[in-house]
Structures are given as structure tokens and as C-alpha cells.
Structure 1
Amino acid sequence: MDSDAGMETLSTRGWLAGTDPEFRSSLLAEAEWRRFATGDQLTLAGDEGGDLIGLADGFVAFHVSFGQPASPILHIAPSVFWMGYRPIVSEQARIATALARSPVACARIPRHRVLALLDERPEWWRHLVTLSLEYGDTAALAGADLLIADSEARLIAVLLRFAGLRGRGACDDRSGAVPVTQQDLAGAANLSRNWAGTILRRLARLGYVTTSYNGIAVNDPKALNAILEDACA
């Protein structure tokens, strides 16, 4: 994805698409277009500064700084996704490390330029509040997924969330494999790798998912959501 296509994607999808046109254009005018290879680090937990980052293409995995150093992945975000608001609104250090799980294309807006825009137009702060609410929704959904008692339903919920097919902004027309390993998915769903593998093989036999070296593809989100809804009824 080139910068023109990426900026158009960020303008028309996700959080920024719902903001004032003047704010949207002013923010993107300050953006630097960046690319990252799989495994590259976009943000680091503990950093006190940082940029606002708009993920236009690819997948990013988040590891939070709470708990054990080798904590499992909390969330995998597909594009479009925004990150980095915390150091802007609170001047507190980042609490999550973000790693590219696929080739990534994104816009980075330097923190000082975001703050300069907000100083010029204080009414635009409400857009950052909206972004923080989206973060809260994602965190709440991740917590709710782990409270699902049924193991199969819990794994399905996490997989659908990673694929962008669950929660706020869910989109049924997403395609392609989620770049997640069986081990990472098991950790995110609080399951053993063996039990997660058993569940995935059953779902694959039904044609609902396809597992491969590149990750796990969701073939039938409606069927998976039906299993999830039945288990949570």
C-alpha cells in the first residue's frame, strides 16, 4: 500500500473517519508514512514519549506491561487501528508493546505536532476522547472474552476479535489469514496448546476455519458466531 492509498484508507475507515473533516485533514497533513517488516517493534511499553500511529495495512500484536514479562498476546489488531494516544492525553508512559505481525504500513504523527493542533483548536480534544473510548471498548472485550467458561467458545471469541470480526467496528467482509500461531492463540484464550489444537482441528473439519503456515483464516464467521452465542446464552 502506498502513502496515497494509505491516507485515503485512514480517512475513510475507523476512528478518524468519524471526526471533523478539518481535524482529519489537519492531522494527516502532519503524518509521516512508515513501513515495518514482520516482527518490527512499533511501540515499546515504558516509553514516555511517542507518536500517534494509524495502522492502514497489516496486523499489529499488543503485549501489555502488566503481569509476567513473557505475558501472552492480549490483542491482535487488523487495520484500520489507531494507537499511541496515552502519552498525548496523559503524558504517562506507554503500557503496551506493539509488534508487527505482518508487513505493516502506517501513518505516524509526532506527539508535539498533535499537541500543537490541539492547542490551536482545543475543541478537537473531543476526538481524542472518542479514541480513548474505542481503546476502552477493546480492552473490555478482551477481558470479557476471557470470562467465557466454554473453552471452544472462548477460543472462537478471541479468534474473531483478532480477525476484526468481533466488537466495535467489526467488518464481515474481511478476508485472509490472521497471522497468529496456534500457541499464541492458545495463550490469548488461556488454553493449553494441545487443547487449542483439538478445537481448531474440529473447526477446520467443519470448514469454519483453515489453518496454515501463514496463520488461521476465518471462513465462516456466522457459523462461529452462532457457536459463541449458543455457549453464552
Structure 2
Amino acid sequence: MPRRQFMSNETAKDFLRETDWLKKAPISFQDAVLARGYFASFAAGKVICDIGDPPGGMMGVVKGHVAVSAVTQEGFPRLGHIMRAGDWFGVAAILVREPRRIRVVAQVPLQMFVLPLREIDAIIDAPSTRSDAWRHFARIILSNQDVSVGASRDLLIRDSKVRCFAVLLRLGGFRRGRSLAEAEPELDLAQEELAHLANLSRNAIGTILRELQRTKVIEIAYKRLKILKPAVLIGQVIEYERNHP
């Protein structure tokens, strides 16, 4: 599963303008965001932000993907989602000026766009963007809330195979209808983590994944899998949801 090269800054800016969040904002706001931020790269395994960190800038994934974990009642971080190219995060901590509530870790070599807190404040205060800036930033919160609600909804799917398919699609970026979803997304997670996310036993997950690999819907490697035929999974989930409204 080879890694692709990072984008040039100009190509990355064009990519970010087409993300679900930024493309809905006026050009003046897009220009302000891209002019005030910067690009950064991180090695696989690097903690981008952690639970309890002071509020900082917001970030957009350009290349690669990150594991997003929230703390359990016992105080341990557990994987909850994978954010992919085109996803943005970090706005909630900015708006309320409270410590971070999630841990974000680079799962592969990562290219990010970073918009520092001071630059966000500058955009909010600037005469050219002041009237609508809060609304545009808040849209990221609503978008990420949709992911959380969708994840909860998927866990209500009674059919264990379809529930697993829905989780795979969410982690691969397909459950929100994202225009920038990758053709064959990679998921860096252990089968035990997938079992936790789908509320299934490891044995049940193993059986489902082996069948998907046999039919060449996915490719399995050590602590990683690649969705080769997302359309097959999408079709199964749509059919189930149509028959179980």
C-alpha cells in the first residue's frame, strides 16, 4: 500500500478550496483563511493535539489521515473516528476557549494546513469578514457533529455485517457523501479497534473481514486494511436502510 507524495502549497490550497467546508464560504473568506495559515508535515505516530491541551489553532487534513480519540469514563483514550484529506478539526476549542477534548494522532506521514488561533481572531475581527466569520467557523462544528450522530445511528443497525460495513464506510469518508472521498481509502487500525467501533467481537469482525477479503472488497495487512470496492459496501448499507427505515 504505497504512500502518495505531498502536494505543493499551491495545489494544496486549490484542494482546500474544494473541501466540503471551505467551498461553502465566500471567496473573500477562503482567501483570508488560506493567506493566514501555513502548511506543516508530521511523521506517522506524531500526536497533533491531545486531550487537555490548551486551545490552539484549527487544522485541515491535506494528505494522509489521523486517528481521533476521546477519553472514556475510565480516563483512557479510545479510537472513535479517522479523519481524512478534506476534513477539518479544532474549532470547538477555539470558540469556547476551553482545553482540547480529543487526541489526534497522525497514522501515516501527514500534510496539514494549520490556522493559528491569533489568525482566526484576526479573521473574525477583520472588517471584510467580520459579519459572517463566526458562522463559517461554526459550520465545521456542525459537520463534525453530523459524523458523531451518524456514528451513533450506525450502531443501531441490527445486522452485524451491515453495521461493520457502515463503520468501514464512515472511517473511509463515505458516510457523509463527501465529494473528496478517496477511491480506495486505507484504514490504519487493528481488528480489535474495528470490533470496538462496530460493537462486535473480534471473532465476528474477523469472519466478516475474511469474507470481504475473499471477494476482493478489501485488502488486509497488519493493522491496516484498504477498501478496494467501496461501492459494494455502499450498496449493502443502502439496501439495508431502504428495507429498515
Normalized against structure 1, the TM-score is what? 0.92
Q: Does 1:215 align with 2:215?
A: no
Aligned to 2:38: 32
Instruction: Specify every segment of 5 or more residues in structure 2 that has no aligned partner in the other structure, as ranges.
Output: 1-5
Aligned to 2:174: 165
Aligned with 1:25: secondary structure?
A: helix
Aligned to 1:122: 130
Pick aligned residue for 1:23 from 7, 29, 43 = 29
Which residue type is aligned with residue 142 of structure 2? Answer: L
**Which contiguous aligned blocks of 4+ residues in structure 1 show a shift greater than 6 angstroms?**
none
Instruction: Specify every segment of 5 or more residues in structure 1 that has no aligned partner in the other structure, as ranges.
Output: none
Q: Does 1:108 align with 2:114?
A: yes
Which residue type is aligned with residue 141 of structure 2? Answer: S
> How far does residue 4 in structure 1 lie from its aligned partner after superposition?
2.5
Which residue type is aligned with residue 148 of structure 1? Answer: I
Query: How far apart, in 2, do the equivalents of 1:160 and 1:213 lie?
Result: 20
Query: How far apart, in 2, do the equivalents of 1:66 and 1:166 lie?
Result: 24
Q: Does 1:84 align with 2:93?
A: no
> How far does residue 10 in structure 1 lie from its aligned partner after superposition?
1.0
Q: Please list the CA deviations of residues 95-130 of structure 1 after superposition, one character each: whole Å capped at 9, or x if unmatched.
A: 111111111101111111101210123222110122
> How far does residue 171 in structure 1 lie from its aligned partner after superposition?
5.0
Q: Please list the CA deviations of residues 200-230 of structure 1 after superposition, one character each: whole Å capped at 9, or x if unmatched.
A: 0011122221212372122222221232234
Aligned with 1:149: secondary structure?
A: coil
State the percentage of identical aligned residues. 28
Aligned to 1:61: 67
Query: How far apart, in 2, do the equivalents of 1:172 and 1:28 lie?
Result: 22
Query: How far apart, in 1, do the equivalents of 2:203 and 2:230 lie?
Result: 23
Query: How far apart, in 1, do the equivalents of 2:232 and 2:98 lie?
Result: 42
> How far does residue 53 in structure 1 lie from its aligned partner after superposition?
0.5
Instruction: Indicate how the Cα distance of structure 1 residues 3 and 220 shifts in structure 2: closer, same or farther if over 3 A, else same.
Output: same
Pick aligned residue for 2:165 from 153, 156, 160 = 156
> How far does residue 137 in structure 1 lie from its aligned partner after superposition?
0.6
Which residue type is aligned with residue 196 of structure 1? Answer: I
Normalized against structure 2, the TM-score is what? 0.88
Given that 2:77 and 2:103 are in contact with CA atoms closer than 8 Å, whether structure 1 keeps it comes out as no
Deviating more after overlay: 140-149 vs 97-106: 140-149
Say how many residue pairs are matched: 233
Aligned to 1:135: 144
